[in-house]
């Protein structure tokens, strides 16, 4: 194992509501929803019509720019609804699920005995390929690219993030098979573990990978931060990334010969009564998972993902393709009387504004209030305290706002993703939506390069 890479800049936000290490299964899912909106940067072309019968692994739509990349159904059943928006933009496909799932048979195979082309063909055809994302741009990977490496982060440092040791427990064979497949796609696969958190032999004894050890606060678990310290991205270079649960799903494609999209998500947050890990199918309704398990009589914010980077969900929504975590916290609409004049013993303080800094291990129940409004940039130095890359975050954001592509490139736009600016957004004195700005900048550069 390599030397420990220590991340010194960052911030661990200690929230109430961590999930107990108990796995439950909700009632049978009656419908699932697959949305092309989950796959930023792709242009979908529909492959089915209302009334069609599908199996798990049957194609629903494909990417116009990369027709070989199929987006397939996670369940078997009947297509009952195709939702479109303005200019007939494809928004979602709803499937009435069978009680017993039938699968498309892709055949059991040993990835070590297959060529790179055969592995790519199997992954793109089955619907597992969308789980592979690329840097720069943090979008769907292009099968035609030759990445210089693939990065898998075996720990998540975000607030209330799932314990990935627990999530992959019992899936060692599938995880290793998935790594064997990835090892055929790039010269090196980096599997990154945490010096204090990672204990599972599934990760620590993995083969065909280079194991790297990281230590430090959030965002040490972000693949962008890890890539920055392991293999920085220059213009023209490509790095692929994949979540450990998706590596397990990839492994099942070869060990079971089918697209088995079952995964374990963490149900967390101060307003969840029974915080558990839940075994679900991608695209399952949120209501099936949280119904009757939230604090009554208060307005709630349901988040698909963690509190820093997740999406706002409603009970009638469905789990997103990349969601491995659901967080429920209070909606912050109640006015606070004399908020700034009180000692703030129950408030999180990152710069000793309140006396709560005297209790560094304290957990907090935070709501969605920004405690202020958007205003002009105030250069306070707070971004640099939580941004562990050799990049000037304020200057990069300003170059994006100015649409100066040359300046963006010189300031490191190829190395970042919106999630890398989540803590900057959290500590921002000016309440700037940094993640949205970065996403717009990445889209602009990607458009110019196409």
Q: Whose structure tokens read 């993902």?
A: 305
4-14+107-255 and 264-358 agree in CATH topology = no
pLDDT value, residue 289: 92
Alpha helices in 28-158 (DSSP H): 116-126
CA dihedral 40, 439, 283, 262 (to 10 degrees): 90
Q: Across residues 95-116, what is the average pLDDT?
A: 96
Reported as a pLDDT band with limits 50, 70 and 90, residue 342 is: low
Least confident of 172-176, 191-195, 196-200, 374-378: 374-378
pLDDT value, residue 72: 97
Q: Which residues pair with 140 in a beta bridge?
A: 133
pLDDT value, residue 363: 87
DSSP letter at 429? T
Least confident of 198-202, 271-275, 372-376: 372-376
The fold for domain 264-358 equals Ubiquitin-like (UB roll) (3.10.20)
Whether 15 has a pLDDT exceeding 80, the answer reads yes
Whether 335 has a pLDDT exceeding 80, the answer reads no
Class at the top of the CATH hierarchy for domain 4-14+107-255: alpha beta
- Inter-CA distances, 413 with 138, 150, 396, 398, 418, Å: 11, 19, 7, 12, 11
Mean pLDDT of the chain: 93
pLDDT value, residue 1: 45
More reliable by pLDDT, 241 or 359: 241
CA nearest 253: which of 392, 81, 74?
A: 74
pLDDT value, residue 332: 81
Residue 242 exposure: Cα atoms within 13 Å on the Cβ side: 29
The domain locations on the chain are 4-14+107-255, 29-97, 264-358, 382-449
- The three-state secondary structure class of 299 is coil
pLDDT value, residue 343: 61
Give 447's contacts (C-beta < 8 A, 6+ positions apart).
none
- CA dist., res. 182 & res. 203, Å (int): 15
- DSSP string across 7-61: --S-----BS-PPPS-EE--SPPSEEEE-GGGSTT--EEE---TT-EE-BT-EEE
Reported as a pLDDT band with limits 50, 70 and 90, residue 358 is: low
pLDDT value, residue 433: 94
Least confident of 52-66, 255-269, 341-355: 341-355
112, 101 contact by CB (below 8 A): no
- The three-state secondary structure class of 4 is strand
Share of the chain above pLDDT 70, in %: 96
Reported as a pLDDT band with limits 50, 70 and 90, residue 2 is: low
pLDDT value, residue 345: 65
Q: Across residues 97-106, what is the average pLDDT?
A: 95
The fold for domain 29-97 equals OB fold (Dihydrolipoamide Acetyltransferase, E2P) (2.40.50)
């Amino acid at each position: 194992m390599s030397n420990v890479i220590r991340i010194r800049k960052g911030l661990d936000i200690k929230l109430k509501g961590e999930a107990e290490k108990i796995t439950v299964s909700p009632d049978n899912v009656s419908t699932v929803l697959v949305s092309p909106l989950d796959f930023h940067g792709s242009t979908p072309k529909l492959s089915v019509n209302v009334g069609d019968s599908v199996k798990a692994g049957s194609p629903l739509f494909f990417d116009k720019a990369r027709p070989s990349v199929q987006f397939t159904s996670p369940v078997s059943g009947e297509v009952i609804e195709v939702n479109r928006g303005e200019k007939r933009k494809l928004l979602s496909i709803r499937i009435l699920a069978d009680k017993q799932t039938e699968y498309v048979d892709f055949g059991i195979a040993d990835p070590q005995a297959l060529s790179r082309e055969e592995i790519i063909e199997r992954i793109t055809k089955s619907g597992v390929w969308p789980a592979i994302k690329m840097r720069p741009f943090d979008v769907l990977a292009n099968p035609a690219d030759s990445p210089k490496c693939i990065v898998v982060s075996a720990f998540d440092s975000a607030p209330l993030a799932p314990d990935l040791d627990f999530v992959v427990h019992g899936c060692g064979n599938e995880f290793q098979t998935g790594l064997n497949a990835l090892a055929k796609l790039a010269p090196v696969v980096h599997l990154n573990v945490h010096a204090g958190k990672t204990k599972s032999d599934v990760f620590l004894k993995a083969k065909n990978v280079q194991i790297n050890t990281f230590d430090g606060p959030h965002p040490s678990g972000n693949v962008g931060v890890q890539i920055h310290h392991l293999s920085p991205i220059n213009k023209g270079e490509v790095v692929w990334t994949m979540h450990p649960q998706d590596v397990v799903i990839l492994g099942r494609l070869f060990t079971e010969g089918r697209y088995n999209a079952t995964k374990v998500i963490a149900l967390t947050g101060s307003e969840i009564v029974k915080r558990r890990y839940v075994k679900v199918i991608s695209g399952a309704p949120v209501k099936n998972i949280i119904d009757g398990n939230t604090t009554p009589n208060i307005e709630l914010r349901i988040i698909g993902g963690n509190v820093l980077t997740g999406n706002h969900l409603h009970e009638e929504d469905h789990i997103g393709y990349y969601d491995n975590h659901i967080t429920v916290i209070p909606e912050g609409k109640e006015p606070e009387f004399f908020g700034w004049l009180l000692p703030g013993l129950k408030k999180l303080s990152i710069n000793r504004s309140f006396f709560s800094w005297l209790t560094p291990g304290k957990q907090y129940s935070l709501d969605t209030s920004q405690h202020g409004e958007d205003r002009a940039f105030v250069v306070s130095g707070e971004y640099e305290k939580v941004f562990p890359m050799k990049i000037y975050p304020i200057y990069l954001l300003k170059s994006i706002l100015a649409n100066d592509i040359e300046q963006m490139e010189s300031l490191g736009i190829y190395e970042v993703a919106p999630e890398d600016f989540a803590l900057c957004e959290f500590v921002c004195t000016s309440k700037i939506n940094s993640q949205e700005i970065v996403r717009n900048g990445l889209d602009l550069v990607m458009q110019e390069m196409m």
